Structure 1
Amino acid sequence: MNAVCSSTHADVLSLDHYRTELRTGQHWSLTMRRGTQMTLTDLTGGANVAMLMHNPFNLLERYNAPDTLKCQHTFKLTRGNCLYSDMGRIFCSITADSFGWHDSVCGNSHAEQVAAQWGRRDYQKVRNDWHQNGYDAFLVELAKYGLSRADLAANLNLFSKVISDEAGNLALDASADSRDCQVTLRFEMDTLVLLHTCPHPLDRRAEYPQAQVQIDISRAAALTADDYCLNFRPENRRGFHNNALYHFTNPGYYAVPSAQ
């Protein structure tokens, strides 16, 4: 993994931007602070970024896909949508999106599926050219925080557009071009983010994908009354109200980091 920080060695305490890149089959996690944003860019096209979120101060609170979809009356995720926890709070908002359609229901690839489709290749023999699957990738990241398979929830899949036929069968839309597309998530509360870049479970390409994703972390602009995500759905206002109450009663944990 390559990481590039915008600060110098002499000025490391003033870090205001961080960049790293992940290739297909990698996994990563970190805690995003309230008032920061994460921009993901599919550099090569054909990437899939699976994501889970937890409250770092109460790991039982996690991303809730059903609530996220039903309260915003949608099947896909794009600009304006907020990503909810199972406590009715908003982890983050999608403030920018040049792809326009992100999967919210298909979950993870598994070892058996990946081996059947692309062959079994393990890290001990081929190192970074192995065929990692999404389920195991998430388990590795969860274990870093004392979590296990019981803590897995339905994840979202960024840069993956899913379509259905007349019989209701789902398929990955191979015509959707995500090369150089970006999606920006603004974090409305401190959030433990776990992600991987393993293939989407509906990916039917002949070869194990080779994609590259860039991750940029920076400070977000302050929320305003005319914010697009705040006003995207009436339900989102209630979510932001829940966040405001939470921050009001937990000021020490959820203080916005200083920009100084």
Structure 2
Amino acid sequence: MQHVRRSPEEIAANRARYEEHQRKGLEFAPKALPAPSPLPAPPVDAVRVIHQEVIPGGWYWSTRIKRGETLRIAQQQGFSTVTLVAWNAAETSERLNLPDTVKMQWTTALSKGRVIFSDMGRVMFSVIEDSSGAHDCLMGGSTATSNLTKYGEGTRNTRDNLVLLATKAGLERRDIPAALSLFAPVRVDQDGKFQWRPELRHEGDYIELRAEMEIIVGLSNCPHPLDPNPDYRPNPVTVTRIAATEPRADDICRTATAEAVRGFENNALAAI
């Protein structure tokens, strides 16, 4: 394949178009998203709890959730990083897409009021509650090699967990998308290097994700590759599946950005 060299003028023009598109997108966005959700997490009405699961440290779990239902993922027994992947249950070739999630909202910082996109430009999840804001959508989870280097033999890792849960769902390795690491305080410094920021963690952090389509979701509870703790000690994580409620017309997840509005329009078209 022949390499195409672009002139400085063409590069400058492309950059100008990108910055103009970014400016318009940011102008549409609200000046401020909601404040982080309060701690401690409020109790869930027992009548609305469909199922509750505790994922032990190092293990994984998957489930199918219906549109409108909510998953609360909570650190009730200490800090842990939870890695998430997801597929459209009706058509599993549609899956979580973190690059589009970042690109279409002009930020790597997922927090309350943001949405998570699929690779078809549709909204998979709305972040309706979040006490943390310290989630990593850039690095992905641990592998057998990274764990062996850091902890030695005998520890479970995120990549192998995702392969197992995908296989149980009738999927293959190639079906696994780039994974979102929840409760992973990763930031990029001025030199473009990944940094672990422990001060961004809070005891009892939780996040609530509302499903905007029927979804197969997989979760792995393994330490993040940048976690500086030299010991392999992930704590159990509690996941609660909560019955659906109809969002308000002014729901900020549906109105925060032009891209989110279009994503929900795509959801509506797919339902016709």
Indicate the TM-score class for this superposition, using the shorter chain for normalisation: 0.7 to 0.9
* Residue number in structure 1 paired with 2:236: 212
Residues 1:158 and 2:182 are matched in the alignment: yes
Q: Deviations over 1:162-182 (max 9, x none)?
A: 123332210221222232111
Query: Out of 166, 169, 192, which is 1:142 matched to?
Result: 166
Question: How many corresponding residue pairs?
Answer: 228
Residues 1:47 and 2:74 are matched in the alignment: no
1:180-199 superposed matches below 5 A: 180-199=204-223
Amino acid corresponding to residue 144 of structure 2 in structure 1: A
Alpha carbons 1:45, 1:177 under 8 Å: kept: no
* Residue number in structure 2 paired with 1:176: 200
Percent of residue pairs bearing the same amino acid type? 33
Counterpart CA distance in 2 for 1:70 and 1:166 is 19
Amino acid corresponding to residue 28 of structure 1 in structure 2: W
Q: Which runs of 5+ in 1 are unaligned?
A: 1-5, 8-14, 122-130, 249-260
Amino acid corresponding to residue 195 of structure 1 in structure 2: L
**Which TM-score applies when normalising by structure 1?**
0.83
**Which TM-score applies when normalising by structure 2?**
0.80
Residues 1:70 and 2:70 are matched in the alignment: no
Alpha carbons 2:115, 2:126 under 8 Å: kept: yes
Structure 1 segments of 4 or more deviating over 3 A? none
The alignment partner of 2:255 has SS state of: coil
Offset at residue 55 of structure 1 (A): 1.0
Seen in structure 2, the aligned counterparts of structure 1 residues 111 and 117 have a Cα distance that, compared at 3 Å, is: same
Amino acid corresponding to residue 180 of structure 1 in structure 2: G
Larger radius of gyration: 2
Amino acid corresponding to residue 85 of structure 1 in structure 2: S
Amino acid corresponding to residue 79 of structure 1 in structure 2: K
Counterpart CA distance in 2 for 1:35 and 1:166 is 39
1:1-260 superposed matches below 5 A: 16-121=49-154, 131-248=155-272
Q: Which moved more, 1:69-78 or 1:38-47?
A: 38-47
Alpha carbons 2:223, 2:234 under 8 Å: kept: no
Offset at residue 16 of structure 1 (A): 4.5
Q: Which structure features the higher share of helix residues?
A: 2
Amino acid corresponding to residue 121 of structure 2 in structure 1: G
